[in-house]
A = this chain, B = another copy of it.
Amino acid sequence: MVTIKKIAELCGVSRGTVDRVLNGRGRVKPETAEAVMNMVKQLGYKPNPAGKALAARRHRPIVGVILNSEGNAFFDEIIRGIETAESRYQIYGMKLTMRRMKGYDVEAQLALIDELESIHVSGLIISPINDTRIAEAINALVDKGVFVVNVNNDVQNCRRQCYVGSDYTNGGETACALLQLLRGQTAKIGVVTGSRQAWGHELRLEGFQRRMEKVPGFSILATAVNKDDEIRSYEETKKMLEEHPDIDSLFIVAGGVYGACRAVVSLKKEKDLTIVAFDSTPTTVDMMKQGVLKTIIYQHPYQQGYRAMDLAFQYLVNDQKPERERYILKNEIKLLENL
């Protein structure tokens, strides 16, 4: 097993010097540094995380979490994943501080980012709103050396180290393929969409429409916008269904599943409509139990949270950079039976 000590001995220098070389702390003669690096490569030295973790206990890294999860049950599982990982890693000296907010209020999210910056977090896990100012704020943090993971949503032009979440385009494609499986070659589709400020929702719709090109008998008759609000979802869906009585399929792009389903039930259309929706929140599961929804698409929210924390741990405590920039969880299809 190759350790710093061994490298030091073989190079005829001290452990301190090797450490300085390995971590680029400077104050080392270039030739010495080169000799050390050669030895490191030759022996394939890998730092021991246990040693690192132990030594790192002096300056306990603190990870900030910002989620627009208030009033959105989908995030409950993400939070559970984050907290599970935290309880596993806190013994290594990692601390967690969580901030929750509601909806897509850019100012509010910027304020939270500021707040965490002032606490000097060394890592940030955030479900960012898709807005240039957010991207800029994140970039500023990254430039200051903070390790940033975007979770569940990503932002354009953002230099975060990692994105952890689902492939939204693929989610839309999968939704369309599923609808085809359930209905055959024809469907008159009503779309219920959420917010433009979630990039993912746009991508999902794009994916759905792209996949539709393979099925000439599929057509979108109308679109309702619910802004992820259940009441609004109920009303807009109802209106859409009344105005377009020949709609036989519903594609619910994001939140507001319960409201949309209630609208379907209130019109007594639950037997005639094929509905494709996302995420197994309790109210959605309720609708599955009632048979209104036969199937949903699931994005491993628990895994998303756990993975995000794990990446922060590996980086901040073990000093291991993420292997990839994007960690994509699969879109899964769920029936009541395999929830």
Give A contacts to B, CB under 8 Å. 1, 46-51, 53-54, 57, 91-93, 170, 173-174, 177-178, 181-182, 211, 294-295, 297, 330-338
A-B contact pairs, 18 of them (CB 8 A): A46-B91, A47-B91, A49-B50, A49-B91, A50-B51, A50-B91, A51-B54, A170-B338, A174-B337, A174-B338, A177-B335, A177-B337, A177-B338, A178-B335, A182-B182, A332-B332, A332-B334, A332-B338
- Chain B, residue nearest A177 (CB): B337
Most buried by B among A295, A297, A338: A338
Nearest chain B CB to A333 CB, angstrom units: 4
* A211 in contact with B337 (CB, 8 Å): yes
Nearest chain B CB to A209 CB, angstrom units: 14
CA distance A44 to B236 in the complex (A): 53
* A177 in contact with B336 (CB, 8 Å): yes
CA distance A1 to B60 in the complex (A): 11
* B336 in contact with A333 (CB, 8 Å): no
Chain B residues closer than 8 Å to A182, beta-carbon distance: 181-182
> Among the listed B49, B51, B174, B295, which residue makes an inter-chain contact with A181, where contact means beta carbons less than 8 Å apart?
B295
CA distance A91 to B1 in the complex (A): 9
Contact A50/B54 with A181-B294, A335-B181, A338-B332 known, Cβ cut-off 8 Å = yes
> Among the listed B51, B294, B331, which residue makes an inter-chain contact with A338, where contact means beta carbons less than 8 Å apart?
B331
- Chain B, residue nearest A339 (CB): B330
Chain B residues closer than 8 Å to A181, beta-carbon distance: 182, 294-295, 335
> Among the listed B54, B57, B174, which residue makes an inter-chain contact with A335, where contact means beta carbons less than 8 Å apart?
B174
Nearest chain B CB to A55 CB, angstrom units: 9
- Chain B, residue nearest A90 (CB): B46
- Chain B, residue nearest A46 (CB): B91
- Chain B, residue nearest A92 (CB): B50
Chain B residues closer than 8 Å to A51, beta-carbon distance: 50, 54
CA distance A51 to B54 in the complex (A): 7
Nearest chain B CB to A68 CB, angstrom units: 26
Chain B residues closer than 8 Å to A335, beta-carbon distance: 174, 177-178, 181, 333
CA distance A331 to B173 in the complex (A): 21
Chain B residues closer than 8 Å to A92, beta-carbon distance: 48-50
> Among the listed B50, B93, B211, B333, which residue makes an inter-chain contact with A333, where contact means beta carbons less than 8 Å apart?
B333
